[in-house]
Amino acid sequence: MEKKKLLGMTLCDLKAVATEVGLPAFAAKQIMQWLYNKRVRSIDEMTNLSLKSRAILAEHYTIGCVPPSDVQQSIDGTAKYLFPTENGQQVECVFIPDGDRATLCVSCQAGCRMGCRFCMTGRQGFGGNLSTADILNQVYSVPGNEQLTNIVFMGQGEPMDNLDAVLKATELLTNPDGWAWSPKRITVSTVGVRKGVERFLLESNCHLAVSLHNPFPEERLAMMPAEKAYGLEELMTLLKRQDWSHQRRLSFEYIVFGGLNDSERHAKELVRLLAPIECRVNLIRFHQIPDTPYKGATEEKMVWLRDYLTKHGVTTTIRASRGQDIYAACGLLHAKTNTAI
């Protein structure tokens, strides 16, 4: 019989496990601490459980952590790791060291259903949802995880399309008995799946990042088929209703394409759309992918757009590109070893 994984279980789940294998109820909290505070790699390391308890637990359960199957190292220090998933797929996560910060960009699906035309993951198609254990394993098993200061759900997949697993993962990352991270250190991105965003805002305190890329719905639709089902207008109505002046941060991701979304017309519409909301915009350089009409904007245009938006009341930064040489930069994740494209 295949053993079940402890990784991804909440205190409530672990209480049920304790009951099932005949351990006292307080053992659930002990197991939780071994899992998420000490991040042990085997049940045998849970030394405040009796030898007998460990043996009973290990008969039916395993920790469930899996090491990466491949790594590619960028010249800028970024590293891209490939992890196997429960359903036999492979996903990538990217470790981005930056001075005294280190960010992990995690995946939540194998591939993606959203089909953004400028994204390698979108082209890959959909290979299934990741379980909470698959998501957390990227944090648990990535080398150097003790240095992590931030986690962003911006790898492969649309988090709001696998929201149960994502919310359970963020709950375990922020729970005092779990990883005990501040929700301020975690950002979840979305193309704007309104129902998902609505639930996310109710059930999580983590930051939200919206992949905007064009302020005009009809032009956005040409780049992002998801605009049809999850329209910008409806999403903006929801976001405007929310109070963003406190803990939680709202940001908009904007890949700047030459001649497509970098004009004054776009800049003006962005101001109209975003200036009334407490938010920030991250301008992202486009990384060329094959067989696409899209090209990146010039550096001058990037700087002009940043300055225009900032001058008109929208806090805007240009995001530094990392890991481009190993296809780890935004939009390039593709989940193949040696991802030469």
**Identity of the residue, 32 or 116, whose beta carbon is nearer to ligand SF4 in the bound complex:** 116
Q: How many CA atoms lie within 13 A of 137 on its CB side?
A: 26
- Using alpha carbons only, give the angle 282, 283, 286 rounded to the nearest 5 degrees: 135
**Identity of the residue, 121 or 316, whose beta carbon is nearer to ligand SF4 in the bound complex:** 121
Q: Is 105 an annotated catalytic residue?
A: no
Residue with tokens 């994984």: 5
**Identity of the residue, 187 or 211, whose beta carbon is nearer to ligand SF4 in the bound complex:** 211
Considering the complex, what minimum distance in angstroms separates the CB of residue 38 from ligand SF4?
A: 33
Considering the complex, what minimum distance in angstroms separates the CB of residue 315 from ligand SF4?
A: 23
Considering the complex, what minimum distance in angstroms separates the CB of residue 226 from ligand SF4?
A: 7
**Identity of the residue, 84 or 115, whose beta carbon is nearer to ligand SF4 in the bound complex:** 115
Task: Give me the residues that bind ligand SF4 (CB under 6 A), please.
Answer: 112, 114-116, 119, 121-122, 156-158, 191, 211, 331
For residue 241, the tally of other CB atoms under 10 A from its CB is: 9
CA-CA distance, 120 to 143, in Å (whole number)? 25
Burial of 291 (0-12, 13-18, 19+ CB in 10 A): exposed
**Identity of the residue, 33 or 321, whose beta carbon is nearer to ligand SF4 in the bound complex:** 321
And the tokens for 111? 């591939």
* Residues in contact with 251: Cβ distance below 8 Å, sequence separation at least 6, in sequence order: 187, 207, 208, 209, 210, 279, 280, 281, 282
Q: Of 183, 107, 171, give the one whose Cα is nearest residue 139.
A: 107
Residue with tokens 């071994």: 34
Considering the complex, what minimum distance in angstroms separates the CB of residue 127 from ligand SF4?
A: 12
Which of 93, 116, 119, 330 does the annotation list as catalytic?
Answer: 330
Which of 92, 158, 227, 253 does the annotation list as catalytic?
Answer: 92
Q: Is 330 an annotated catalytic residue?
A: yes
Q: How many CA atoms lie within 13 A of 33 on its CB side?
A: 9
Considering the complex, what minimum distance in angstroms separates the CB of residue 188 from ligand SF4?
A: 12
Residue 278 to residues 120, 215, 217, 254: CA-CA distances in angstroms?
31, 17, 21, 16
Catalytic residues: 92, 330
